[in-house]
Amino acid sequence: MGYTLYHGNTKQAIEDMVENNSLLEKYKSSGDKHYLGDGFYFYNDLKQAEHWAKMKVTRNQKYKGQKWAVLECIVEYEEENCLDLDQREEQEFFFYEMRRLDKQIKEKELDIDEYCDAYFCNHLGGRLDLVILSKTFVYKDKHKIFPPLFSNVRSEPYSKTRHFRTEKQYVLRDKSIVSNLRMLHNSDLKEVK
């Protein structure tokens, strides 16, 4: 399967990747703050990737003041090497495996600091040779308001709706599935041809 996906980052990072025609390890996301584990994070929505790139260079002190850009590329992979956590069957598998691993950790009396989705996604991805994981997340806005779970209760600032902005994220664990890298948008020009 081939899909067009978008990655928002600093303009320098995007230029480096386009110049090398490859995702570069130095720009790989890793650590427990990344819900789908280690890899390169993409969106199927150009506007969301642009929004992310702009947030990165305005909110993150490390990148503040740098220029932003959006990378467009083609991602090709086999369906069996993907875990889409928006699909009920794949969610059930994920939670079953998570409980199974937790049980094994307890039975073996292993000491772990703290459970984290990122670590479990890395474990599962490695065990199953997954090249891509995806999930739709509720968008966390500047007020840090989350929708009520399993409820019809409305919460501010959403007093008129129960619908919330979402974003579908894809984490690419294998950079070899990416081709046709090009800079699409950047802070200097609205669209690069």
User: How does pLDDT run across 71-130, given as a tens digit for each residue?
Assistant: 999 999 999 999 999 999 999 999 999 999 889 888 998 877 767 888 899 999 999 999
pLDDT in tens, 45-70: 999 999 999 989 998 899 998 999 99
Look at strands 82-84 and 166-172 and give their pairing: unpaired
Look at strands 166-172 and 132-138 and give their pairing: antiparallel
Whole-number pLDDT of residue 163: 65
> SS3 for 181?
strand
CA 56, 178, 94: angle at the middle one, nearest 5?
Answer: 75
pLDDT in tens, 114-126: 678 888 999 999 9
Q: Burial level of 161, CB count in 10 A (0-12/13-18/19+)?
A: exposed
